Amino acid sequence: MQIERQPVIILVRPQMGENIGAAARAMLNFGLTDMRIVDPRDGWPNPKAVAMASGAAGRVLDTARVYPTLALAMEGIDYAYATTARGRELTKPVFTPATAMAQARAHDGRSAVIFGPERTGLENDDIARANAIVTVPVNPDFPSLNLAQAVLLMGYEFGRDILPPEPAPHLRRSEAEAPADRIEIERLGDHYDDQLTQAGFFFPETKAASMRLNMRNMWSRLTLTKGDVRILHGVLRQLTRR
């Protein structure tokens, strides 16, 4: 699935092909396919990026465009977000990923999300070319995100209200794991009622009716499987046999 008016993902001076490939996979997870690469350290194309993209995400790399500078890579972009924890000395609005991507979804023009090199992040000259800053609220004692994680986070926030929800996976259960029906619960309650009556549990007689009612209510509240019911019958049989 490809999302219309999706944001462009711009990787500025990425250092490792593996990280470019991992970013491509993160993009395609959320239907994003437009990647632009600025001055990659190891040149382009990069076989390590292709290997990491692994299959379908390779098409993101096939159509990726390479630019010598960020200024040229901003071709056709109306509004750009720079992902960084730096650059606060520049006067720009600062957003969380959720807020920024909500704006990008509502924006009529073409938006872009800019990511910096793995080791140093974006420089102020790069940030100056963006309209706003996106900063992830992370643990201040460990604020580091790798490139693919950052791309994945922004892709998720952009696609969360656009992509169709996936149904919960259907798990095939064994017969023992299937829910016990009401008749099975009733028979279990009867079995315990009979054996507890023989053991003199319902005493004194004036309280026997309310005790039985409470026991029956307890059985109905329990979420039991067919296997659970068999075990509880077996436990009681073994106890009464002894």
Encode pLDDT of 96-108 as tens digits.
999 999 999 988 8
Q: What is the pLDDT of residue 40?
A: 94
Who contacts 192 (Cβ-Cβ below 8 Å, separation ≥6)?
A: 215, 219, 232, 236
Q: From the centroid of its chain, how far is CA 145?
A: 16
User: Whose CA is closest to 104, among 66, 155, 67?
Assistant: 155
Q: Which residues pair with 111 in a beta bridge?
A: 79
| Average pLDDT, integer, range 110-127 | 92
Q: What is the pLDDT of residue 2?
A: 55
Q: How far apart are CA 86 and CA 89, in angstroms?
A: 8
Q: Give one word for 108, left, alpha or beta, with left for phi > 0 and alpha for psi -120 to 50.
A: alpha
| Average pLDDT, integer, range 68-95 | 89
Q: How far apart are CA 121 and CA 157, in angstroms?
A: 21
Domains in the chain (CATH in brackets) are 8-159 (3.40.1280.10), 175-241 (1.10.8)
- Mean residue pLDDT of the chain comes to 89
* Strand ranges in 55-180 using DSSP code E only, listed in sequence order: 65-67, 79-83, 94-95, 111-115, 132-134
Confidence (pTM):
0.69
Q: Which residues pair with 36 in a beta bridge?
A: 10, 65
- How far the first Cα of the chain sits from its last, in Å, is 65
Instruction: With beta carbons less than 8 A apart as the criterion, state whether 184 and 228 touch.
Output: no
| Average pLDDT, integer, range 42-57 | 87
Encode pLDDT of 179-208 as tens digits.
889 899 999 999 999 999 999 999 999 999
